[in-house]
Amino acid sequence: MTGTEARTSTEEPDSARSRINVIRTSPNRADIEELTAYHEFLGFQEQQKRTYGKLLDGENTPQNISVYGFLLGTLCGGGLVYAVKVATEQPQLPYFLCALALFHFLEYLATALYNPRKLTLDSYLINHSAHYHAAHAASFLEFAIESYFFPSWRPFGLINGLGLLLVIVGQAARTTAMMSAKGNFSHRIVDFKAPEHQLVVHGIYSVMRHPSYFGFYWWALGVQCLLFNPICLLLFVFYLHRFFKERIAYEEYTLLRFFGDEWTQYKNKTPTLLPLID
């Protein structure tokens, strides 16, 4: 293919231009949807040109999605094998790495399976926030310092086992919440009600009001028990409680606006199961 042929192959065909002109002069709903889809296709082509051959640049591209999944799978599988086969007396850190990788992978997988319209690279939640990364950095730091100065704390014991159990329960609750809510689930609080938005009251939502928050709360505290990080555990209890208390208050304000008495009745009979958060 010559250079001229390569350029002309990406230009708009005359038939497409004429079709767009017809739509612009006499639009109807079907024509508008067709024109929107066509512009989305052109935008996708432009994005593909910009990101061709690039990896780990933060763009929502197939290559980044596959690399993220591969790295998380490697970390999860490697951590589990190392914990079971090598670090049998002190498996806390590899178990934590396994749980962390699995958490991010399941966020993406659950979105892909049950909420595909909202699926992007950000669905992995890896670029969550600076506070999130700082919290995990602090966990690693405390674990390393205490392992060096207090090695007698590190053999796997009852508290570590309890932490691992909390991690499993928390992860199960969060993933089940995303499965139950399907398209109604969002990683961000929305300020307007979409026509298809429904109040989810079945499944795990019939047991607790905010199961995804419940899941992350106990997952995060479980991680600190698993690592036996007493300082981070106390800090996590304080900051997680403050964060979820404020977030739940605002989210429930929006839900009251969206659903009125239906939300009030549901709230009155369904607890959060989060300590000190009504």
> Is 90 exceeded by the pLDDT of residue 145?
yes
225-229: average pLDDT: 97
**pLDDT band for position 119 (cuts 50, 70, 90):** very high
Within a 13 Å sphere around the CA of 62, how many CA atoms are in the beta-carbon half?
Answer: 4
> For the chain, what is the mean pLDDT?
88
What number of H helices and E strands is found in the chain?
10, 0
Nearest C-alpha neighbor of 159 from the set 106, 232, 96, 229: 229
147 sits in which H/E element: helix 130-149
Cβ–Cβ under 8 Å, residues 189 and 251: yes
Give residue 236's pLDDT: 97
In this predicted structure, the answer to whether residue 3 has a pLDDT above a threshold of 50 is: no
Show Cβ contacts of residue 141 under 8 Å, excluding neighbours closer than 6 positions: none
Confidence band for 37, pLDDT divided at 50, 70 and 90: confident
What's the whole-model pTM score? 0.81
Average pLDDT of 11-15?
52
Whole-angstrom CA distances from 79 to 88, 161, 176, 237, 275 are: 12, 17, 24, 26, 31
User: What's the sign of the alpha-carbon dihedral 142, 144, 145, 148?
Assistant: positive
Q: How far apart, in Å, are the Cα atoms of 179 and each of 39, 57, 199, 215? A: 32, 30, 14, 13
Mean pLDDT calculated for residue range 237-244: 97
Average pLDDT score over residue span 97-115? 97
The predicted pLDDT at position 29 comes to: 67
| Crossing angle of the two packed helices 211-227 and 230-259, in degrees rounded to 10 | 180
Higher pLDDT, 142 or 195: 142
Average pLDDT rounded to a whole number, residues 208-231: 98
What residues form DSSP beta bridges with 277?
A: 274
Nearest-CA neighbor of 254 among 204, 203, 186?
A: 186
Q: Are the C-beta atoms of 104 and 72 separated by less than 8 Å?
A: yes
Kindly indicate the confidence band of residue 178, based on its pLDDT and cuts at 50, 70 and 90: very high
| Cα Rg of the chain (Å, integer) | 24
Looking at residue 1, what is its pLDDT?
47
CB 92 within 8 A of CB 228: yes
- Unique residue bearing structure tokens 């002069």: 25
**H/E segment holding residue 195:** none
Structure tokens at 274: 């989060």
- pLDDT attached to residue 163: 98
Q: Report, as an integer, the average pLDDT of 8-19.
A: 50
Q: Strand, coil or helix: what is 188?
A: coil
Q: Over 90: is that where the pLDDT of 78 sits?
A: yes
Q: Given this model, what pLDDT does residue 26 score?
A: 54
Residue 9: pLDDT band with limits 50, 70, 90: very low
pLDDT tier for residue 203 given thresholds of 50, 70 and 90 = very high
Q: According to the model, what pLDDT value does residue 24 have? A: 53
Q: What pLDDT does 44 receive?
A: 65
Give the tens place of pLDDT for each residue, 79-96: 999 999 998 889 999 999
